[in-house]
Structure 1
Amino acid sequence: MFDQNGEPVYKIKECIDTFTYSYKDDYGNVITRNIIEKRTVTYNFSLAKKKLKEINRMIEKAKAHRACQAKKEEYGESSKYMQFLDDQGKNIKPQLNQKAIDKDKELAGYHMLVTSEINMSSKDIYNAYHQLW
Structure 2
Amino acid sequence: MDAVITHYLHYLGFGLLFATLAAELALFRPAVSGEVARRLARIDALYGLAAVVVLATGLLKVFVYGKSAAYYGQNFVFHIKVTLFAIVFGLSLVPTVRFFRARGAANGTTVTYPAATGRLLVIEMAVLVLIPLLGVLMAHGYGYRA
TM-score (norm 2): 0.28
Instruction: Name which structure has the greater RCO, CA cutoff 8 Å, separation 6+.
Output: 2
TM-score (norm 1): 0.30
